[in-house]
């Protein structure tokens, strides 16, 4: 397809008979010389396309027009000048006796053209003998142009072929845009969206480059306004291209220095805008064209320097193309764009293809980026399929784990029930004993076993999310008194300070009972047996302004010594000093879990001499 475009652009002129036999140019640095004076200057011969770059000088071109034999009396020749971004072109023809200015350019209206074409045209007589005509070019854009002198029949054929090439280029750009847009609809992705916006701008720019804007907007918008809009469009197409490349490279998480490199290109574009707004149109367009040549080379260097897929997690890698592919892409567009831009800058002589170099670049880069997007989409589909399979396996494993835990919970509940019955029999039997020491020993250890079973069951209910919270008015003074009594003789070590008295707390009775009982049990069992355990209760407002009650349990450390604050509330944690004392390591885990379920907190707040736990519950 690209070969067809190339043939239509390059080979079309060879199919028509050009009546220009000699071409030469001269630059008027002052821009003020008259035609009569210019004719005395020494002109430099050239062939094909003239490329003088961005110059403030007026460029004069002398053409030797040679008529063919035989010819009709009403024969005409059409001077066709391309491309259509040239500001002002004046014709000076010795055979023109009208004495009116003959001017075309992008500051003249399409309706004023002597011959209706997307290119700039003049209609001249063929003459009876070879003669010279002069064209004066003055433009803020690049002085790159091609001039032909064709008969009306050859002009019509050349126009058809040119329109075929233009429509094919616009069709290809539109196809690439639509193709990726459909992918974006099926799989919304930011990079696809940026590509679509970029190529929509490319499509409008290419259509304007070919001159369609002058045809369709003639009579609706003044020619000078269209000229300014086209200049802004040319500058805007550059920043949209850099914007897309920035989004593309951002997927590889570039280091800060690489981001600075891309941002420097955007700063460069900002300078172009400043020049444009300040009226320095020629320098703005030249800086913009230099930016077009520099940007792909900079991006190529950055891609080589920092892209490394191994630095990313496997899921992110799915959207990342291999470094070789990215580097090849940037190398290709660098070569293509630099080769296309050099004639615009006047560094290389132009040719028929390079007159349309920027639209041709839009087609080729569009094709390459579309292929990249396809490769990327294929990788994402494969990765998503793998993720879906992994997710299905994970869900199956979760179901199996849930089933296993439920079976484990059922077995634990059954075991608790089966153990409590023999314990009840043992407890009942020891009550008939007359040996008080044995009776106390048995009762104490039966209580320990029951407490262990209750903690295991509570921990299992929390893990399964089956512990229900039933809020009710709870009087802490009664609850604390009952808990102290349950500890028997050991409870006599508990010193309680309760200034809130009988004030009720809206909470779950059973959960609060488990929390406070575990805190007191820990203090009594692991604290210094010769020292008192302090239990204080007071009203306290949380940092968020919620009214509540604070309960602090404090004891001096005993054989278990000081606990590890980092592991204290973890399930099954027991300090090295507590290994000789019976326990499950579930007590403080239950305290923290239940306090959180009640909307409160429990944290470890030791001082220099005491192990202290502070519980806060909302009222």
Report the pLDDT averaged over residues 264-283. 95
Q: CA-to-CA distance for 595 and 602, rounded, in angstroms?
A: 6
What pLDDT shows up at residue 7? Answer: 42
Report percent pLDDT > 90 for the chain. Answer: 32
Q: What is the pTM of this model?
A: 0.64
Between β-strands 471-475 and 504-508, what pairing exists: parallel, antiparallel or unpaired?
antiparallel
Q: What is the 3-state secondary structure (H, E, C) of 159-228?
A: HHHHHHHHHHHHHHHHHHHHHHHHHHHHCCCHHHHHHHHHHHHHHHHHHHHCCHHHHHCCCCCCHHHHHH
In 3D, which of 145, 118, 134, 146 has the Cα closest to residue 55? Answer: 145
Residue-wise pLDDT for 522-552, tens only, equals 888 888 888 889 998 888 888 888 888 999 9
pLDDT band with cut points at 50, 70 and 90 for residue 420: low
Q: Is 140 helix (H, G, I), strand (E, B) or coil?
A: coil
Taking each helix axis from N to C end, the angle separating 509-526 and 436-464, rounded to the nearest 10 degrees, works out to 130
Q: What are the CA-CA distances from residue 389 to residues 123, 188, 384, 385, 386 (Å)?
A: 71, 21, 8, 6, 5
What pLDDT shows up at residue 13? Answer: 46
Residue-wise pLDDT for 382-414, tens only, equals 777 777 787 778 777 877 766 666 655 555 555
Q: Enter the DSSP assignment of 71.
A: -
Return the minimum-mean-pLDDT range out of 55-69, 467-481, 579-593: 579-593
Residue-wise pLDDT for 306-358, tens only, equals 888 666 555 556 667 888 888 998 898 888 877 788 888 888 776 777 777 77
| Stronger pLDDT, 379 or 114, i.e. the higher one | 114
Question: What is the overall mean pLDDT for the chain?
Answer: 82
């Amino acid at each position: 397809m690209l070969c067809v475009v190339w043939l239509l652009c390059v080979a079309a002129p060879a199919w028509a008979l050009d009546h220009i036999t000699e071409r030469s140019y001269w630059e008027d640095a002052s821009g003020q010389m008259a035609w009569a004076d210019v004719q005395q200057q020494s002109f430099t011969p050239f062939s094909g396309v003239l490329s003088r770059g961005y110059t403030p000088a007026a460029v004069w071109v002398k053409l030797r027009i040679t008529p063919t034999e035989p010819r009709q009396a009403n024969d005409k020749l059409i001077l066709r000048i391309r491309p259509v971004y040239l500001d002002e072109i004046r014709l000076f023809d010795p055979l023109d006796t009208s004495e009116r200015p003959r001017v075309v350019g992008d500051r003249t209206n399409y309706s004023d053209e002597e011959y209706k074409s997307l290119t700039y045209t003049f209609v001249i007589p063929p003459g009876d003998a070879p003669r010279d005509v002069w064209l004066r070019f003055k433009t803020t854009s690049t002085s790159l142009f091609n001039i032909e002198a064709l008969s009306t029949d050859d002009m019509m054929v050349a126009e058809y072929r040119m329109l075929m090439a233009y429509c094919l280029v616009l069709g290809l750009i539109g196809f690439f845009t639509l193709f990726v847009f459909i992918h974006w609809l099926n799989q919304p992705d930011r990079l696809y969206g940026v590509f679509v916006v970029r190529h929509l701008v490319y499509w409008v720019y290419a259509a304007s480059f070919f001159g369609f804007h002058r045809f369709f907007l003639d009579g609706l918008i003044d020619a000078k306004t269209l000229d300014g809009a086209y200049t802004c469009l040319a500058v805007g197409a550059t920043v949209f291209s850099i914007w897309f490349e920035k989004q593309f490279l951002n997927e590889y998480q570039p280091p800060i220095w690489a981001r600075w490199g891309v941002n420097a290109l955007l700063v460069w574009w900002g300078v172009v805008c400043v020049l444009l707004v300040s009226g320095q149109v020629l320098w703005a367009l030249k800086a913009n064209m230099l930016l077009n040549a520099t940007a792909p080379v900079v991006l190529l260097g950055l891609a080589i320097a920092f892209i490394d897929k191994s630095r990313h997690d496997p899921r992110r890698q799915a959207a990342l193309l291999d470094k070789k592919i990215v580097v090849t892409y940037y190398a290709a567009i660098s070569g293509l764009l630099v080769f296309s831009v050099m004639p615009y800058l006047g560094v290389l002589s132009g040719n028929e293809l390079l007159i349309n170099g920027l639209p041709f670049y839009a087609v080729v880069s569009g094709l390459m980026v579309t292929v990249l997007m396809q490769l990327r989409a294929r990788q994402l589909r494969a990765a998503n399929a793998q993720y879906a399979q992994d997710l299905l396996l994970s869900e199956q494993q979760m179901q199996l784990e849930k089933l296993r835990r439920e079976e484990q919970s059922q077995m634990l509940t059954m075991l608790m029930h089966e153990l409590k019955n023999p314990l009840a029999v043992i407890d009942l039997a020891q009550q008939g004993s007359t040996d008080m020491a044995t009776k106390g020993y048995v009762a104490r250890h039966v209580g320990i076993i029951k407490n262990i079973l209750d903690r295991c069951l509570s921990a299992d209910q929390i893990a399964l999310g089956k512990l229900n919270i039933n809020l009710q008015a709870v009087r802490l003074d009664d609850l604390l008194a009952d808990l102290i009594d349950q500890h028997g003789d050991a409870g006599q070590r508990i010193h309680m300070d309760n200034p809130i008295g009988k004030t009720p707390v809206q909470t779950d009775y059973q959960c609060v009972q488990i929390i406070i009982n575990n805190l007191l049990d820990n203090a009594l069992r692991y604290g210094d047996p010769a020292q008192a355990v302090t239990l204080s209760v007071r009203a306290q407002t949380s940092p968020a302004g919620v009214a509540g009650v604070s309960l602090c349990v404090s004891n001096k450390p005993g054989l278990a010594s000081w606990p590890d604050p980092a592991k204290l509330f973890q399930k099954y944690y027991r300090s090295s000093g507590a290994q000789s004392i019976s326990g499950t390591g579930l007590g403080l885990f239950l305290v923290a879990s239940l306090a959180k379920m009640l909307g409160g907190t429990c944290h470890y707040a030791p001082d220099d001499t005491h192990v202290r736990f502070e519980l806060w519950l909302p009222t």
